[in-house]
Chains A and B, each alone.
Chain A
């Protein structure tokens, strides 16, 4: 019993260690340095990827890299074109940025679990969470930015007066008695967008990260060449591989969903009721 209790203690410690951010500052001004560093780094990587393709772009036979970038750009542009019918010179690059950036940030989940911690410990840092999208701060920052863009497009399409008019009269009608219910309904609808957008991405990535940690505990229970330990190790390899393959689908899907919902919300904002 004592040994089991101890094992449970260390496994909880292991997971808590992996769930702790590298923090600087206190209270409201707590900075998650790992999140900020990783997201900026991956943003730079995304920019470099596309810049290197555009620098060597030819109108002749494209290289493999250029063809890949063209496929991604065209894919995103088609998605925007299907839903958003106005001038898309701003929205299409925004959608592309979101897609590539979120995808890269999510893809950090596929790194070996202990690798970031080991690399960080070379620099004397004890905590390093490598998936920026498994931090509510990142996802809410992105979704609130999208929210601001949606509001901006609403104002641009309808004007301040038109937008306020719509907020108070939209679903039920323009009877003064219905102003309050209309407004409450619209407010809930409006606020649900950034919250669901951020929580969806965060929930998926956080759960995915935790499942990787739980799988890693199987191998961490290694205690020499016994049957139990061997089964644990085998389980870690098999389940880790299976979850990682499934996770490739999830990270792509979540990046795609974040992008599509951004487009859809913006398109909805520009439509008149």
Chain B
């Protein structure tokens, strides 16, 4: 194969992988945040006096849930702009 074809193949597979990484990560994070948010609202409606305590923990968990997704996004972005898999072709 021509070099251009190798590059195109790697780039197309990387692009697909990026879509999967960000998309699937987003699905998971959104479901997680959704479940947690609904439970928080339920709990807040039942016992409004607990809101300050629960709010702090909710934000903590929101950060934890988001983190895995954002790590995925960071990795995906890294592959989008400095694809290390292409390096073996130039070497």
Interface presence of B7 (CB below 8 A): no
Among A224-273, those with CB < 8 Å from B are: 250, 253-254, 256-257, 260
Q: Write out the residue numbers on chain B whose beta carbons fall within 8 Å of the beta carbon of A250.
A: 63, 66
Give complex CA distance A257, B60 in Å: 6
Question: Closest CB-CB distance, B50 to chain A, in whole Å?
Answer: 14
Residue of A203, A253, A256, A257 touching B71 (CB-CB under 8 A)? A203
When distances are taken between beta carbons in the complex, the residues of chain A under 8 Å from B81 are 12, 15-16, 19, 210
Contacts of A202 in B (CB 8 A): 71, 74
Interface centre among B59, B64, B77, B78 (most CB of A within 10 A): B77
Grouping DSSP codes into helix (H, G, I), strand (E, B) and loop, the A interface class, with mixed when no group exceeds half, is helix
> Is B67 within 8 A of A204, CB to CB?
yes
Q: Which residues of B contact A204 (CB under 8 A)?
A: 66-67, 70-71, 74
| Beta-carbon contact of A253 and B59 below 8 Å | yes
> Which residues of B29-78 have CB atoms within 8 Å of chain A's CB atoms?
59-60, 62-64, 66-67, 70-75, 77-78
List residues of chain A with CB within 8 A of the CB of B73: 203, 207
| Bound CA span A199–B68, Å | 9
Distance in Å: Cβ of A200 to nearest Cβ of chain B: 4
CB of A206 within 8 A of chain B?
yes
Q: Is the interface of B mostly helix, strand, loop or mixed?
A: helix
Q: Total interface residues on A, using CB and 8 Å?
A: 20
- Which A residues touch B77, using CB under 8 A? 206-207, 210
B62 neighbours in A (Cβ, 8 Å)? 253
Most chain-B CB neighbours within 10 Å: which of A200, A203, A256, A260?
A: A203
CA distance A15 to B62 in the complex (A): 29
- Check A253–B63 contact: CB distance below 8 A: yes
Docked pose: A253 CA to B63 CA in angstroms = 6
Q: How far is the CB of B10 from chain A (nearest CB, A)?
A: 15
**Complex Cα–Cα for A165 and B82 (A):** 46
Interface size class of B (residues with CB under 8 A): 10 to 19
Expressed in whole angstroms, the minimum distance between the Cβ of A193 and any Cβ of chain B is 13
Using CB atoms, name the residue of chain A closest to B61. Answer: A257
CB proximity of A86 to chain B, nearest CB, Å:
22
List B contacts of A206 (CB < 8 A).
74, 77-78
- In the complex, are the beta carbons of B74 and A210 less than 8 A apart? yes
List the B residue with the shortest CB-CB distance to A208: B70
Interfacial residues of chain A within 198-227, with CB under 8 A of chain B in the complex: 199-200, 202-204, 206-208, 210
B74 touches A16 (CB 8 A): no
CB distance from A261 to the nearest CB of B (A): 9
Give the residues in chain A near B72, CB-CB below 8 Å: 203
Residues of chain B within 8 A (CB-CB) of A260 are 60
A196 CB contacts on chain B under 8 angstroms? 67
Q: Distance (Å) between the CB of A157 and the closest chain B CB?
A: 24
Given contacts A15-B81, A16-B81, contact A200 B74 (CB under 8 A): no
Kindly identify, within residues 162 to 216 of chain A, every residue whose CB is under 8 Å from any CB belonging to chain B: 196, 199-200, 202-204, 206-208, 210
- Which residues of B are interface residues toward A (Cβ below 8 A)? 59-60, 62-64, 66-67, 70-75, 77-78, 81-82
Give me 15 A-to-B residue pairs in the complex whose CB atoms sit less than 8 angstroms apart, sorted by A's number.
A12-B81, A16-B82, A202-B71, A203-B73, A203-B74, A204-B71, A204-B74, A207-B73, A207-B74, A207-B77, A210-B77, A210-B81, A253-B62, A257-B63, A257-B64
